[in-house]
Every structure is written in C-alpha cells, then in structure tokens.
Amino acid sequence: METKNLYVLLILLLMSCSNAQNPVEELKESKPDEILIVYLSRTKNTKAVGEIIHENIGGDLVELELQNPYPENYRETVDQVSRELETGFLPPLKTKIENIEKYKVVFVGFPTWSMALPPPMKSFLKQYNLEGKTIIPFNTNAGYGVGSGFETVKELCPNSTVTEGYSTRGGVERDGILFVMEGDKAVAVKDEVQNWLQKIGIIQKK
C-alpha cells in the first residue's frame, strides 16, 4: 500500500514539474486586455524595449513612477540605491495598477542596478498579488548582464509561473551614454524581442 501511495505521489510530482516547465502553452491564447507590461526606466532604454513588446502583443503599457523620484545626478542615485539594497528599503510607488486581477500575463521590465533587481521593481512585485499569473521579465543593462534580477523575480513570485526572460545591452549612464535604442541597435533589438516572444509562445512563429 505504501509503495502504491509513493508511486502516485511520484506521478503527481512529475506532472507538476512538467507543467512548470511548459507554462507557455496558455500564452498563445492570451488576449491583449489580459496583458500588462510594467517597466522601470531611467534612460528610456527599458521603456523602448517595453514599447517593442507592446507593438507585438498589445496590452496595457505602464511605467513605474516613485512618490519620491531618484535624484537626477547619477552618482547620488547609485549611492541611494546601494543603501536601499543593503537595508531592504522598498520605495513607495506613485503608480497605481487598477484591477490587477484581470491580468493573466505580466511583463516586468527593469535595468540592472548594482547587479540586482532595482528596489522599485521589488516594491511592485511585493505590493500586488500576482499569484497564478505568468510573469515575463525583460532587462536592459550596461554590458554586465542581468545580475541576480531574473532570479529575484522568481523568488518574489513563488506562486506565479516565471518564464525565460530577455536581456540586452542598453546605455552606460556612468559614462554619459544614455539612450541607445535607435538606428541599427533598435532594428536588432526588435528582431531579438520578436524571436524571444515566439520562443516563449506568446506570439506565433511566422
């Protein structure tokens, strides 16, 4: 009897793992009014990627704004973010998402700050109930990659399905290189984003 119960439990666990690894079957059936694209963007590069996603799939495109915006000065912002990451402070958001329950798919876009998920995006993920939703992260960075950002999204959304994310190099504010999503770079990112959206299953391959 115990062996039979263990066998049943093993089958259920395997089914659960299979579902977790194939979350995108439902994405292709998502309607635009069930899709939310939320992004945080300082130099507008992440915003540009969010707009490309929006062009491909529709949905509601929303920028995260803070009640107390970060300083214009880059170094002051870096110091403030470092303190927030160290203390776990979550900056209050000015942005309010109405009827979050209506969305089945939530894209979350953010730059890499100190190789981590920016505190404002942590505020968003902790403030709203995203249980049962599909979370799709995207990122821009200064060339060092996404850091721990995607993993932190998974940690903060334990009851959601988190898909493979997309990341690309944006500006390097430290060096005075700000908006770069134009010209050949914009064309390349548009192609990459479309391929990624096809790969995760939210749009059909052409």
The fraction of the chain above a pLDDT of 90, given in percent, is: 84
SS3 assignment, position 187: helix
* Token pair of 175 as six digits: 């060096």
**Residue 29 pLDDT class (50, 70, 90 cuts):** confident
Q: What is the pLDDT of residues 89-113, one digit of tens each?
A: 999 999 999 999 999 999 999 999 9
Q: What beta strand segments (E) does 71-143 contain?
A: 105-111, 134-141
Q: What is the pLDDT of residues 107-162, one digit of tens each?
A: 999 999 999 999 999 999 999 999 999 999 999 999 999 999 999 999 999 999 99
Tokens 């992440």 -> residue: 46
Q: Of 34, 17, 15, 13, nearest to 136 (Cα)?
A: 34
Q: Please state the pTM of the whole predicted model.
A: 0.88
Q: Which domains does the chain have, with CATH numbers?
A: 29-200 (3.40.50.360)
Q: Are strands 105-111 and 134-141 parallel, antiparallel or unpaired?
A: parallel
